[in-house]
Amino acid sequence: MVTVVSEEVREALDAHRPVVALESTIIAHGLPRPRNLRVALELEDVVRREGAVPATIAVLDGRPHVGLDKQQLERVANEDGMRKLGHRDLPLAVAAGASGATTVSATALLAALAGVRVFATGGLGGVHREWTVTQDESADLGLLARTRITVVCAGVKSILDVPATLQRLETLGVAVAGYRTARFPGFYLSDSGHPVDWTLDSPEEAAEVMRAQDALGGPESALIVAHPVPEAEQLDPELHARVLTDALHACEEEGVTGQAVTPFLLDYLVRHTDGASLSANLAAVRGNVRLAARVAAAWARR
């Protein structure tokens, strides 16, 4: 088998104990050094404090790993040239013996293949603004339409076209529910301004939906549990709106296109909010990881 599942993760899966998948792009590409490693270790510790096993996922020397030890985490955090891998890149990285951090799509795929059912991340990718011109849509959406995994996230990144993304998720048949909210969260913001049709009020309710997915035997699609960042920790909405407008103008003026758009906009927000957007991002991730561990525990009690 190409994928390496750590002994700790394999033992937990075999014993039907809760496991939570974690992506590695936030470590390699989302945070500056040395803060990135501290956050990676902190998030794993959050999972453990909730009684679950963390399974951080990355590709090292052409081998996908589900579950990393401290030395491997350090390598992802500190090694120059660590690529950013979506699910389409995985066979190329394996064949080339390359190393890379996994995005939402690659993490979800590798987690599901290993038998990990719950995945925590910050915000999903989605339909980009000006889609009618650029046709730019994250690979996350298509992958989640055909992968049976539960993703706890703070909605989609607010730099995207949120209503178009929600419509696309509906078209693809991906189940979306707000966690203790009837509003779809906006990553840095508790409320994106758009509603959700379904609300879950406990980890046990999320686990019941997962059981119903399996019982129905329908398409192998995901469940998105949209968990808002607490209002007290969100980015100030007025600051967010003003800086995002400036960021979109700067992106257009500098001719940034394709895969470079998202990192450009996110970096612009960090720099022009004096780091407040990063603080809101991390607050959302911590909350998502904690909730994911509780959902995984409820699922494990099936």
- What positions carry a catalytic annotation? 23, 157
Binding residues for substrate, by number, are 84, 104, 138-140
> Binding site residues for Mn(2+), as ranges?
136
Give strand pairing partners of 299.
Answer: none
Of 140, 136, 252, 239, the residue nearest 188 (C-alpha): 239
Query: Which positions make up the binding site?
Result: 84, 104, 136, 138-140
Q: Are strands 183-186 and 189-195 parallel, antiparallel or unpaired?
A: antiparallel
54 DSSP assignment: E
Instruction: Render 218-265 in DSSP notation, one character per residue.
Output: -----EEEE-PPPGGGSPPHHHHHHHHHHHHHHHHHTT--GGGHHHHH
Pairing of strands 175-179, 150-153: unpaired
Coil, strand or helix: which one is 79? coil
